[in-house]
Structure 1
């Protein structure tokens, strides 16, 4: 039976994985520690699997190291979910979001550009991804980017993804938005000539 834990060394880009077994060597009484090289190798493999839509191969790693679902895989701070959304890999996204070790809070993790995977889906037109993620965490449409405080619907408006704007301005969502965010959306929609594309115009 394995136990797993993560130790963060200052920032999320340098995380060591510690794996201990109930059958620890009596000589050392120490857990097994993955070196930086081994950690980097796991990240490279997971990045490739997420990018190439290879869920079964990624799951074999997650089954051993479940905390890797939330670890940044590159210098841009992208988790496997960010990578799969960017690569438009629907099957991988569906299975990763439904994976038992990926928590609703994990969907809120931003990358180095302050984008959650949900924001990235709004920017790139991933309508199907949005619904998959909302089913696990319905707070996602109202979580802004850390830097400019734009909501996903603002990002979709800027990139002119009309269908996503419609989906993210349902009556239920608009009622939960702050007034300042609604006003911002109105001005952006007008500037982008998106009349009639939201429930508030």
Structure 2
């Protein structure tokens, strides 16, 4: 699932950086809420030891949903909880959310600070954007319990989570987020994107 999402987002998202993140009247993450890049930027002996021994195993454990072992690594090195652990800057929350591991996400959220939940990957996507695109209602609800503004925080290309859900044809998620997204500041292009995307992906009627 994560590999599939990466392919989709790479095809539709323009990468952001801290100086180029667009500012709109909608709720934004703080300019660019970048994950901790310490492990990716290491050189020398630290790079040889930390990335393959910490980041790579944690990435695999998050994909597998193996919380006990992932928890052991994070307790051993607390910086992992908000670190970019792979190319593209995903955090462990991004990966577990995209892989639809509900229990993993639930336990992980217990140890994350509020600012960790809104961290963005290289393309500007929060873990909530990934969860919305994956269509996992339970994970979305777990995150909303921590931050009710997540549906309004834009990801890559300035898209909101509801637009990501629609692009993936997630009918139930699209309708769910429609009621939770602050639409008063939607621009004409936002409405057009949502409208035509819903037509293209077959989201025509109310989900029951």
Same fold (TM over 0.5): yes
Q: In structure 1, the residue corresponding to 2:204 is in which secondary structure?
A: coil
Hey, what does 1:140 align to over in structure 2? 150
Unaligned runs of 5+ in 1: 1-7, 17-33
CA RMSD after TM alignment: 2.6
Aligned twin of 2:68: 56
Change beyond 3 A, Cα 1:42–1:193: closer
Q: Does the 8 Å contact 1:142/1:177 carry over to 2?
A: no
Q: Give the Cα separation in 2 of the matches to 1:195 and 1:68.
A: 42
Per the alignment, residue 29 of structure 1 pairs with: none
Tell me, yes or no, if the aligned pair for 2:74 and 2:81 is still in contact at 8 Å. yes
Correspondent of 1:36 among 42, 47, 50:
47
> What pairs with 1:59-78 in structure 2 (closer than 5 Å)?
59-78=71-90
User: More strand by proportion, 1 or 2?
Assistant: 1
Partner of 2:127: 117
For residue 136 of structure 2, what is the aligned residue in structure 1? 126
Mapped contact 1:165–1:197 kept (Cα < 8 A): no
In structure 2, the partner of 1:195 is: 204
How far 1:174 moved relative to its partner? Answer: 3.8
- 1:155-176 Cα distance to aligned partner (Å, 9 max, x none): 1112111110111011x53456
In structure 2, stretches of 5+ residues that fail to align are: 1-35
Task: Give 1 or 2 for the bigger CA radius of gyration.
Answer: 1
Query: Shift of residue 115 of structure 1?
Result: 2.1
Question: Could you tell me how far apart the structure 2 residues matched to 1:90 and 1:65 are?
Answer: 23
CA contact (8 A) 1:144 1:150 kept: yes
Cα shift at 1:177: 4.8
Task: Please identify which structure carries the higher helix content.
Answer: 2
What's the CA shift string for 1:8-45, capped at 9, x where partnerless? 78x772158xxxxxxxxxxxxxxxxx822221111112
Cα distance in 1, alignment partners of residues 182 and 110 from structure 2: 27
Cα distance change on mapping 1:89 and 1:192 into 2, 3 Å: closer
Question: Secondary structure of 1:173's match?
Answer: coil
1:83 corresponds to: 95
